[in-house]
Amino acid sequence: MLNASTLLLIPLLPLLSFLFISFIGKKYLPTLSGTISVLVLSASAILSLAVAYNYFFVVGMTNGFYQAIIPMKLEWLRFSPGVSIDMGIILDPISVMMLVVVTFISLMVHIYSLGYMKGEERFAVYYSFLDLFTFSMLGLVIATNLFQIYFFWELVGVSSYLLIGYYFTKPSAVAAAKKAFIVTRFADLGFLIGILVLSFHSGTLDIQTLIARLTTSDTTFYASATFTGFMGVSSLTWGLALVFIGGAGKSAMFPLHIWLPDAMEGPTPVSALIHAATMVVAGVYLVARLFPIYAISSPHLLELIGYIGIISSALAAIIACTQTDIKRVLAYSTISQIGYMLASLGVSNYGGLNGEGFSASMFHLFTHAFFKALLFLCAGSVIHYVHSNEVRDMGGLRKKMPITHLCFLLACLAIAGIPPLSGFFSKEEILAAAFAHNQTIFYIAWLTAGLTSFYMFRLYFLTFWNRDYVNHHESYEHHSEGSWNMKLPLLILMLGAVGAGFVPFHHLITSDGQPYESEFHLNITLMAVGLSLFAIIIATIFYRKKNNLPDKISSSISQLYDFAYHKFYFDEVYQFVTQTILFNTIGALSSWFDKNIVNGAVNTTAFITEAFSETIKPVQSGKVQGYALAFLFGILGLIAILFFFNF
Amino acid sequence: MIDQVPLTHILFLSTALFFIGAYGFLTRRNMITMLMSVELILNSVNINLVAFNRYLHPNIDGVIFTLFIIAIAAAEAAVAIAIIISLYRKINSIDPEQADELKY
C-alpha cells in the first residue's frame, strides 16, 4: 500500500485533473469539469485515508517509534556531490496527517463549489485552479528536500494569487491578489536565503540529513554553522530565522499578516481551503518539519517564534472583535489560531512529554482545519443567501437557514473550546503545554481564548439572531438555503469539527515519533472553559437582541476601539513605508542618480567620442590625390628625420 | 666619353624627372595623365639604378632591376587602364576628383 506508485497518485491525480480541465475540459466540458474534479479528488482523498490507516496502524511503528518512510526519491538537479534538489515522498506522522487534511478539506470544498460557483462564467477555470492548488499543497507536505518545499511553496503562492484574483474584473480583487503575492514573495526571499545559509553549512538540502547534521553537536557541519555568525548570532540561527520569515509570510504572522484579510476577495470556498485550512498553515508545517533543529540547536529562536505567534494571536483577536465583514472576522480568527499553533510550537521541547507543545500544535492544526473550513463554508452559504459580506445586512437568519445555523453554532462552540467539541481538546493541550513551559505565553493565550469566544459569538449572534431578517434584494426571494451539494460538505465537516478531538494525537504525532501519555489538567481546563463561557455570556448579552450596549462600550473606549477597528493602522504604516519612504524618497533619489550620474557618464562618453570623430573625419576625404600628397610629405618627413638624427 | 659626365648630373636629371612625375600625379585631373606621370616616376628610378650600376657597383644587378621595373610598369599600365575604363563606365568621367565615394 505504501509503495511509490500509489503514493504518487495522490498528488498527481489533481495535477492530471488540472491539465485535463485546462487543455480539454475548459473548452469542451465546461459544466462537467466540476464533477470530474470532484471524482478525481475523491480518489485522492480515499487513497490518503488508506495511506494514513496503513501508516499509523500497520507499518509506521517500529520499536515503539513512528519512523519516517521514504518510498521514493529522485535526484532532479545536482549541484555537487551531496547537494542536490530531489523530488521525493516522505511519510512521517505530520506529512501523513497533512495529506489527509489537505485532500479531505479540498474534497469538501470541491463538492461545495459545485453549488456555490454554479453558473459562474469561468466555472471550469475555477476548478482547474483548485486542482493546481491541491497538487501544489500535496507536493509541499510530502517534500523530502528543502528545495522541493520551496518549489511547491511558490506554486501554492501562485495558485493562491490566481484564486484571490478570480473575480479579476473587480479592482479590489486584483489589488488583493497582488498584495498577497508581493507580501508572501517578500517573505519567501527570507526563506530562500535561509535555505542557502542552512545548506551552505550543512552541505545538503535533504531534510533528514539536514536534521541529522545540525542537531548533533559533534559534526563538522554543526561546528561550521554555529561558530560562524553575523551580529553575534550564529549562522545556524540566522538560517532558521530566515526560513521562519518565509513561514511567517505564508502563515500571515504579524507584521506580515496584512495580505490575509484582503485575500478574502476571492470566492468563499477558496478562503475556506487556502486561507483557512491548508496553505496558511504551511508556515506551521515548515517549522514542524524542521522542528528538531529549532528545538535542539536554537531554542531561543523557538521561544521568539512562540512570542511572535502569541502576539499575532492576541492582536488578531482584538481586531476581529471590531470588524463587521463576516469573512474578515474569520480571517483574523485564522491569524489568531495560527498564532496559537506557532505559540504552541514555541513552548515545546524535543522528545517525550516535553514535546507536548509540538503534538498540541499539530492537533490544533488538524481540528482547526475542520472547524475553520466549516465556518468559512457556512459564511459562504450566508453570503450566497444575502448577497453581502457585511453583518449589518444579516441578522435573524437562524430560521431561514437552519442547517447552516446549526453548523455555524457547532463550529463556534468548537473554536471557543467548549467540551466535548474538537477545539476544546487541542486548545486544552496547547494551554497545558504553555502552562508547563512559559507562563507569559500561557496567560496571553488564555486571554486570547476568551477573546476568541467573544468575537466568534458576536459574529454568530449578529448573523443568525439580533433582529429579524430583512431582505435587501427583492429579486432573490426565491432563494433557498442552498442545494444539496452545499449542505452535504457542511454536515460532513460538522462531524469533523465535533469529533476530530477524539483522535488520540499524543499517540500518533509527537516530536520524536514516540507516543506518550498526556496528563489531564483540571485547573487549566476549568480556567479556559470558564473564561470561554463567560465570554459567550457577554456576547449573548451584547448581541442576541439588538441593543445599544455594544455601542456604549465601544464609545467609552473609543480610542482603543478605533485603533483596533483600523487594524492597528498596519496597512497605513506599510503604505507610508512603501509610498513615502521607498518610492518617493529613496526611489526618487535613486531615479535622480540613475538619470543624471549613471546616464550622464554614459552620455558624456558618447558625446566626447562623437565630437572627436567629427573633428578628424575630413581626413578621410576619398580624394586619391590628397592621400598621395600626404603620403609624399610623409615620406619626405621620414627622410628628413633619418637625415637629421643620422641613423 | 660617358665618364666625363659626373654622376651628380645624372642624379639631377632623375630627381627632376621624379618631381615632374610627382607634380603631375598630384595635380592632373585626368587619370591617363596621372598614369603617365607614374611612368615618369618609375623611369626616374630606372635612371638611378642604371647610373649607380655604372658608377658605383659595376655588376649586372642594377640592369636586371631596371628590366624588372619596365616589365612591371607594363603590367601596371594594363591593370590601371582597365581600372580607369571601368571607372569611366561607372561615373562617366576619368577625373579622380569625381571618384571620391570611398570616404567617411
Q: Are A145 and A88 in contact (CB under 8 A)?
A: yes
Question: ipTM strictly over 0.85?
Answer: yes
Residue B103 has pLDDT above 90, yes or no: no
Does B65 contact chain A (CB < 8 Å)? no
Question: Which residues from A are below 8 Å from B34, CB to CB?
Answer: 625
What is the band of B64 on the pLDDT scale with cuts at 50, 70, 90?
Answer: very high
How many CA atoms, within 13 angstroms, populate the side-chain half-sphere of residue A377? Answer: 36
CA distance, residue A617 to nearest chain B CA (Å): 7
Closest residue of A to B19, CA-based?
A: A632
Instruction: Report d(CA B99, CA B86) in Å as an integer.
Output: 12
Question: Which residues from A are below 8 Å from B99, CB to CB?
Answer: 622, 624
C-alpha cell at A107: 474534497
C-alpha cell at A251: 502563515
H helices present in A203-325, as ranges: 207-215, 220-227, 235-250, 259-262, 268-272, 282-289, 291-292, 299-320
Query: Which of A367, A293, A288, A301 is CA-nearest to residue A94?
Result: A288
Interface of A with B in 599-618 (CB under 8 A): 617-618
Residue A549 has pLDDT above 80, yes or no: no
Which of A610, A624, A631, A633 would best serve as a mutation to test chain B binding (most B beta carbons within 10 A)?
Answer: A624
Question: Which residues from A are below 8 Å from B24, CB to CB?
Answer: none
A10 Cβ partners below 8 Å, 6+ apart?
Answer: A44, A47, A48, A51, A99, A103, A138, A142
Closest residue of B to A621, CA-based?
A: B103
More confident residue, A636 or A515: A636
Does B94 contact chain A (CB < 8 Å)? no
pLDDT at residue A472, as a whole number? 60
Longest dimension (CA), chain B: 57
Question: Which residues from B are below 8 Å from A629, CB to CB?
Answer: 26
A-B C-beta contacts closer than 8 Å: 29
Query: Which of A37, A146, A127 is CA-nearest to residue A87?
Result: A146
pLDDT at residue A647, as a whole number? 62
Q: What is the mean pLDDT of chain A?
A: 85
C-alpha distances out from residue A177 to A166, A279, A388, B41, Å: 9, 15, 20, 86
CATH of B2-91, one of 3.20.19.10, 1.10.3080.10, 1.10.287.3510, 3.30.1490.120: 1.10.287.3510
More confident residue, A572 or A305: A305
Instruction: Report d(CA A20, CA A23) in Å as an integer.
Output: 5
pLDDT at residue B83, as a whole number? 92
pLDDT at residue A477, as a whole number? 52
| Burial of residue B94, with CB atoms counted within 10 A of its CB: 0-12 exposed, 13-18 middle, 19 or more buried | middle
Cβ contact, residue pair A621, B100, below 8 Å: yes
CA distance, residue A622 to nearest chain B CA (Å): 4
Give chain A's length. Answer: 647
Question: Which residues from A are below 8 Å from B91, CB to CB?
Answer: none
Each residue's pLDDT tens digit, A303-328: 899 999 999 999 899 888 888 888 88
Q: Are A494 and A374 in contact (CB under 8 A)?
A: yes
Does B97 contact chain A (CB < 8 Å)? yes
pLDDT at residue B20, as a whole number? 94
Instruction: Report d(CA A345, CA A343) in Å as an integer.
Output: 5
What is the band of B86 on the pLDDT scale with cuts at 50, 70, 90?
Answer: very high
Helix/strand/coil for A394 = coil
Has this prediction a pTM greater than 0.95? Answer: no
Cβ contact, residue pair A621, B103, below 8 Å: yes
Does B30 contact chain A (CB < 8 Å)? no
Residue A474 has pLDDT above 60, yes or no: no
Q: Are A150 and A207 in contact (CB under 8 A)?
A: no
Q: Are A377 and A490 in contact (CB under 8 A)?
A: yes
Residue A273 has pLDDT above 60, yes or no: yes
Cβ contact, residue pair B25, A625, below 8 Å: yes
Q: What is the mean pLDDT of chain B?
A: 89
Q: Is the peptide bond before A420 cis (omega within 30 degrees of 0)?
A: yes
Instruction: Report d(CA A349, CA B15) in Å as an integer.
Output: 108
Cβ contact, residue pair A632, B22, below 8 Å: yes
C-alpha A94: how far from chain center: 17
What is the band of A385 on the pLDDT scale with cuts at 50, 70, 90?
Answer: confident
> Mean pLDDT highest for which of A454-463, A544-553, B37-46?
B37-46
